[in-house]
């Protein structure tokens, strides 16, 4: 159904060319507040409602979205690039500055692309980079405590993770020693058994005969199976590298933030992000790998081993001091583990949420 749009009355004041400087953060905040209150970008005091000259350079400062009640077709904002007096857009409008004319226009999301596709793309990329930079800085400003907290957590984790790495390495060595091809049976996360089945077929002379075929069936999933992965890298060196990079971050206090160079801010933000991401990955990995010590995993491996369809015997057990692996319970190897092996890894200190996303 065709929607009948109401023409918007554009005032002379709105049409008038209002030269201004490139909007700073204060102006951006004023624009956001105006749009939030009025839903009407084209009546903002610095907006110039004229069509920009084709190909003139443009800078996108930020994006904005109209409040909910202005999202219906007839309540949307008019765009000076294209629709002029007709309601057109509501989301991801651009706060666009045109440095040659020295004017500000609030325009539709991709409207300027029709006048200059490449200029639009460049402005979009630059805006996103700028935004990322501001987010990084905001993250630092909000989290000066994070580096000492992450460092403290790393130090707490190190003996636990080192014990884990050692236990895992010990297990691999014993499996090699015993020539137990466990990994080749468990590498897809499930153990399989073969089941014999008789099938009837016709011989060339037309008589019936039977033959046995073996089907592989899933015996059961084993959580944490990657604990046995032969090519697994230890986590300790990664943690130590992280510790070094955190220790190289110049100490910063909130009151010094304004004096940090852009490069220092970026470096600090990057280090914090990397540390948080790496620690989260390691924590997730180890939490998952430790599921191999849950009773259900142990029972699945040992139960599989007793199944006539399994292809070799194996015995796997754990207690407070050791892991055990062998072909049978009577003939098993012991892998001693440090008490830290079983210790809980406490969670990662969190960065306070900062939201700089376009509103």
The contact set with Zn ion (CB under 5 A) reads: 79, 81-82, 108, 111
Structure tokens at 312: 């070799």
Nearer to Zn ion among residue 23 and residue 93 (C-beta) = 93
Nearer to Zn ion among residue 24 and residue 118 (C-beta) = 118
Nearer to Zn ion among residue 92 and residue 196 (C-beta) = 92
- In terms of Cα–Cα distance, which of 66, 23, 82 is closest to 47? 23
| Diameter over CA atoms, the chain | 101
Closest distance to Zn ion from the beta carbon of 122 (Å) = 18
- In terms of Cα–Cα distance, which of 135, 124, 156 is closest to 270? 135
Nearer to Zn ion among residue 98 and residue 235 (C-beta) = 98
Closest distance to Zn ion from the beta carbon of 111 (Å) = 3
CA distances from 203 to 196, 199, 208 (A): 21, 12, 6
Q: Are 88 and 60 in contact (CB under 8 A)?
A: no
For the chain, the C-alpha Rg in angstroms (whole number) is 33
Closest distance to Zn ion from the beta carbon of 8 (Å) = 13
Tell the residue number behind the tokens 């999301």, with chain if given: 109
Nearer to Zn ion among residue 79 and residue 314 (C-beta) = 79
Residue 325 phi/psi, 5-degree rounding, is: -145, 140
Closest distance to Zn ion from the beta carbon of 79 (Å) = 3
Tell me which DSSP letter residue 47 carries. Answer: B
CA distances from 142 to 10, 136, 249, 298 (A): 42, 10, 16, 45
Residue 171 phi/psi, 5-degree rounding, is: -65, -45
Q: Which residue is nearest to Zn ion (CB)?
A: 111
Closest distance to Zn ion from the beta carbon of 275 (Å) = 43
Nearer to Zn ion among residue 59 and residue 286 (C-beta) = 59
Closest distance to Zn ion from the beta carbon of 108 (Å) = 3
User: Reduced to 3 DSSP states, what percent helix, strand and coil does the chain have, rounded to the nearest 5?
Assistant: 45, 20, 35
Closest distance to Zn ion from the beta carbon of 76 (Å) = 11
Closest distance to Zn ion from the beta carbon of 107 (Å) = 6
Nearer to Zn ion among residue 79 and residue 175 (C-beta) = 79
How many angstroms separate the first and last alpha carbons of the chain?
A: 30
Please, where are the H alpha helices in 143-213? 146-178, 182-186
Nearer to Zn ion among residue 94 and residue 332 (C-beta) = 94
Structure tokens at 93: 């409008």
Nearer to Zn ion among residue 79 and residue 325 (C-beta) = 79
Q: Are 359 and 337 in contact (CB under 8 A)?
A: no
Closest distance to Zn ion from the beta carbon of 349 (Å) = 45
Structure tokens at 180: 């137990």
């Amino acid at each position: 159904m065709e929607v009948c749009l109401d023409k918007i009355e554009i005032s002379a004041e709105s049409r008038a060319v209002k030269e201004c400087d490139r909007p700073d953060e204060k102006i951006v905040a004023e624009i956001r507040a105006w749009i939030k209150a009025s839903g009407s970008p084209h009546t903002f005091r610095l907006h110039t409602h004229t069509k920009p000259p084709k190909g003139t350079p443009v800078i996108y400062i930020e994006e904005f979205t109209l409040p909910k009640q202005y999202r219906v077709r007839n309540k949307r904002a008019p765009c000076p690039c294209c629709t002029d007096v007709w309601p057109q857009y509501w989301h991801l409008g651009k706060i666009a500055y045109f440095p040659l004319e020295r004017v500000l226009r609030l325009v539709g999301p991709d409207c300027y692309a029709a006048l200059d596709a490449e200029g639009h793309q460049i402005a979009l990329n630059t805006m996103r980079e700028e935004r990322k930079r501001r987010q990084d800085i905001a993250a630092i400003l909000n989290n000066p405590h994070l580096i000492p907290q992450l460092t403290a957590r790393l130090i707490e984790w190190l003996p636990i993770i080192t014990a884990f790495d050692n236990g895992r390495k010990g297990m691999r060595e014993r499996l090699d020693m015993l020539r137990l091809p466990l990994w080749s049976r468990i590498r897809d996360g499930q153990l399989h058994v073969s089941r014999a089945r008789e099938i009837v077929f016709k011989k060339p002379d037309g008589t019936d005969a039977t033959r046995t075929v073996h089907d592989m069936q899933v015996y059961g999933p084993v959580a944490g199976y990657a604990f046995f992965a032969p090519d697994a890298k230890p986590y300790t060196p990664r943690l130590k590298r992280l510790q070094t990079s955190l220790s190289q971050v110049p100490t910063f206090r909130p009151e010094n933030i304004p004096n940090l160079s852009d490069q220092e801010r970026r470096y600090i933000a990057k280090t914090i992000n990397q540390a948080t991401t790496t620690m989260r990955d390691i924590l997730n990995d180890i939490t998952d790998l430790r599921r191999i010590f849950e009773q259900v995993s142990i029972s699945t491996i040992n139960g599989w081993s007793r199944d006539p369809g399994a292809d070799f015997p194996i015995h796997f057990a754990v207690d407070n001091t050791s892991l055990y692996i062998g072909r049978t319970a009577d003939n098993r190897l012991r892998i001693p583990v440090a008490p830290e092996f079983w210790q809980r890894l406490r969670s990662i200190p969190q960065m306070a949420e900062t939201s700089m996303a376009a509103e």
